[in-house]
Chain A
Amino acid sequence: MATIIIPTPLRKFTNNTAKLQISGGTVADSIEQLITNFPDLKKHLLDDKGQIRSFVNIFVGDQDIRDLQQENTVIKEDTVLSIIPAIAGGNN
């Protein structure tokens, strides 16, 4: 089983669980599994079109999936998938 790490701000939607086991497939499959188990996560992870929100980064190990095969990146048994919120802002 691969591992998915939930960032602090989203743990209130996963019963305060920081690490979850997922059965693999692709990144998209993993996110789908996660949302099936914790539906309240959906609006924080996906946009209106069902794509991963631009303010959410997904890392496989220490690599951004944008530098791999995006949502089609394959998850292996020993993969650690991290959801990393984009932290940004500033004044108008």
Chain B
Amino acid sequence: MISVEQKSEKIMNEDAVKAFPDECCGFMYGTEDASGNRVVTESLPINNGAVENRRRRFEISPKDYLKGEQHALENGLLFLGIYHSHPNHPAIPSEHDRVAAQPYFSYVILSTYDGVIKNTRSWRLNDDFQFEEEEYSSPLKDSNKTIQ
């Protein structure tokens, strides 16, 4: 399971809304317990470096990636994964997401329709290079459950 603290989710949500209709992307940092449960305590928006078609593509430059690794080391955090948005598409990884995906990382996808966050889901690559959904928990999602 991956839990995202409220302030981190707020940053991701605001990034996705601000970037709409383009895709946003960023890094997630935090902790992981012995059972593999992850908590995102920090999210960091990163420039979408895709040269073209940023409405359907995102890309993080190697230099930004290196800075991301350095940030984890300097702050004593685990680099847990990547978030990005799917404008006007569901929060399901595409083939483009799968072929570039890395093991270990959580891939959080925010589905935004007309600039509004519809839902957020998280995925991880298995040993066969296929995505499997990982339970996603956040204060916002949990409060919605209570209301329903």
Does A38 touch B at the CB level, under 8 Å?
A: no
> Would A88 and B89 be within 8 Å (CB), given that A8-B69, A9-B102, A10-B103 are in contact?
no
> Would A89 and B94 be within 8 Å (CB), given that A8-B69, A64-B62, A82-B66 are in contact?
yes
Does B20 touch A at the CB level, under 8 Å?
A: no
> Would A88 and B60 be within 8 Å (CB), given that A8-B72, A8-B78 are in contact?
yes
The answer to whether B79 touches A59, judged by C-beta atoms less than 8 angstroms apart, is no
Query: Which A residues are in CB contact (< 8 Å) with B97?
Result: 89-90
The 9 tightest CB contacts between A and B, nearest first, are A89-B97, A9-B102, A90-B57, A87-B60, A91-B89, A8-B79, A9-B104, A88-B59, A92-B94
**Which residues of B are in contact with A by a Cβ distance under 8 Å?**
23, 25, 50, 53, 56-60, 62-63, 65-66, 69, 72, 78-79, 82, 84, 86-87, 89, 93-97, 99-105, 107
